[in-house]
């Protein structure tokens, strides 16, 4: 019994080391295996440990897969002379198509940002009766908004987001601003500057990643690292069992509240039981 346990620990340590260095996981003569590309050393170590803890060498021997961490890693891998299918993780949906433009092989993605639908639900649940707005590069102002978008769709200001958002706030008849991660609308520091502008004008902002919550957003819908890890495990399980490469988001989101913003600007205190009920409502439970 002790001998088998030691063998399993040694095998996991070996697989972990192979993944961290970017080498294939127990490469066969056909060079099948799982390799990690991009990200920080810490993120690669984390994923390597996750994979080594879930599957043994016999289960991954015939798997041919590259896992890219972030948008840059996906673009760089696809621009090289590589043939392995790709599972792209830790990237935003709006940057996916551009990043995989040079990929000739199949690519599946697990996106880090939550879909807009959850932001819409959170805005309605947190600020009942409010009208939400968002910037868009795809639809003209005044067109009927689809159910999954904000009530009002605003054009990108000609003078730029940072300078033009204040004008749109003054001109608009809306209450809550949705700030999805969208590379076609926002550039560089636009997210931070937009949140600062909204804060000054006392307009609550709903964001789709947790990193923006501390910069002045009222609330966020996001995926935890545990949820994203589970999505990776499920994608690899499906690939190992069926040979099908797919990437899916987690099936629920976590709701975060900026208590300081909610209390100081809107006089709202969200107790834990209210937050749990709001989270259930946002997830459609």
If asked whether residues 61 and 26 sit together in one domain, one would say: yes
Please check whether residue 89 is in contact with residue 228, taking contact to mean a CB–CB distance below 8 angstroms: yes
If asked whether residues 215 and 228 sit together in one domain, one would say: no
If asked whether residues 88 and 174 sit together in one domain, one would say: no
Note the pLDDT of residue 140.
46
Q: Is the pLDDT of residue 22 over 50?
A: no
The answer as to whether 126 is a domain residue is yes
If asked whether residues 76 and 11 sit together in one domain, one would say: yes
Mean confidence (pLDDT) of the chain: 85
Residue 170: pLDDT band (50, 70, 90) is very high
User: 155 phi and psi, to 5 degrees?
Assistant: -75, 155
CB atoms within 10 A of CB 34: 27
Note the pLDDT of residue 138.
72
Residue closest to 74 by CA, chosen among 59, 90, 63 = 90
The alpha carbon torsion through 172, 176, 178, 179 (nearest 10 deg) reads: 90
If asked whether residues 62 and 185 sit together in one domain, one would say: no
Instruction: Give the residue, 33 or 208, on which the prediction is more confident.
Output: 208
Task: Write out the residue range of the structural domain in which residue 263 sits.
Answer: 116-222+253-282
Residues 6+ apart with CB under 8 A from 26: 15, 18, 33, 57, 60, 61
Q: Is the pLDDT of residue 69 over 50?
A: yes
Residues 6+ apart with CB under 8 A from 226: none
What digits encode the pLDDT tens for the residues 109-162?
999 999 999 999 999 999 999 999 999 887 544 555 566 789 999 999 998 888
The answer as to whether 156 is a domain residue is yes
CATH of the domain at 212: 3.40.50.2300
Q: What is the pTM of this model?
A: 0.83
Residues 6+ apart with CB under 8 A from 184: 94, 137, 138
DSSP-derived secondary structure letter, 145: P
If asked whether residues 44 and 82 sit together in one domain, one would say: yes
Burial category of 72 from C-beta neighbours within 10 Å (exposed 0-12, middle 13-18, buried 19 and up): middle
pLDDT mean over 156-173: 90
pLDDT mean over 5-16: 35
The answer as to whether 247 is a domain residue is no
Note the pLDDT of residue 147.
63
Instruction: Give the residue, 8 or 279, on which the prediction is more confident.
Output: 279
Percent of the chain with pLDDT over 90: 72
Residue closest to 211 by CA, chosen among 192, 226, 227 = 192
If asked whether residues 121 and 106 sit together in one domain, one would say: no
Note the pLDDT of residue 30.
36
If asked whether residues 213 and 262 sit together in one domain, one would say: yes
The answer as to whether 248 is a domain residue is no
If asked whether residues 213 and 228 sit together in one domain, one would say: no
The answer as to whether 95 is a domain residue is yes
If asked whether residues 75 and 136 sit together in one domain, one would say: no
If asked whether residues 67 and 93 sit together in one domain, one would say: yes
Structure tokens at 280: 């259930």
The answer as to whether 40 is a domain residue is yes
φ/ψ region of 188 (left if φ > 0, alpha if ψ in -120 to 50, else beta) reads left
Count of domains for the chain? 2
The answer as to whether 41 is a domain residue is yes
Please check whether residue 180 is in contact with residue 149, taking contact to mean a CB–CB distance below 8 angstroms: no
The answer as to whether 204 is a domain residue is yes
Q: How far apart are CA 51 and CA 17, in angstroms?
A: 11
If asked whether residues 230 and 140 sit together in one domain, one would say: no
């Amino acid at each position: 019994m002790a001998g088998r346990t030691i063998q399993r620990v040694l095998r996991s340590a070996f697989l972990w080391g192979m993944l961290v260095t970017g080498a294939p996981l127990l490469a066969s003569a056909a060079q099948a295996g799982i390799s990690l590309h991009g990200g920080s050393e810490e993120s690669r170590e984390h994923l390597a440990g996750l994979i080594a803890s879930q599957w043994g060498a016999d289960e991954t021997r015939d798997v041919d897969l590259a896992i890219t961490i972030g948008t840059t890693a996906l673009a760089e891998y696809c621009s090289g002379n590589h043939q392995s299918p790709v599972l792209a993780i830790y990237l935003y949906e709006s940057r996916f198509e551009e990043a995989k433009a040079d990929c000739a092989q199949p690519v599946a993605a697990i996106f880090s940002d939550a879909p807009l639908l959850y932001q819409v639900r959170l805005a309605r649940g947190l600020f009942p009766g409010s009208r939400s707005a968002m910037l868009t590069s795809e639809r003209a102002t005044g067109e009927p908004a689809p159910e999954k978008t904000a009530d009002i769709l605003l054009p990108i200001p000609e003078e730029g987001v940072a300078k033009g958002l204040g004008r749109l706030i003054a001109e608009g008849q809306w209450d809550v601003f949705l700030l999805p991660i969208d590379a076609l609308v926002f550039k560089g520091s636009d997210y931070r500057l937009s949140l600062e502008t909204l804060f000054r004008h006392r307009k609550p902002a709903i964001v789709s990643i947790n990193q923006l919550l501390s910069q002045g957003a009222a609330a966020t819908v996001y995926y935890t690292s545990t949820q994203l890890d589970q999505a990776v495990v499920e994608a690899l399980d499906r690939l190992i069992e069926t040979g099908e490469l797919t990437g899916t988001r987690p099936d629920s989101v976590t709701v975060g509240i900026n208590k300081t913003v909610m209390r100081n600007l809107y006089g709202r205190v969200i107790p834990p039981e209210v937050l749990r009920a709001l989270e259930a409502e946002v997830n459609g439970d």
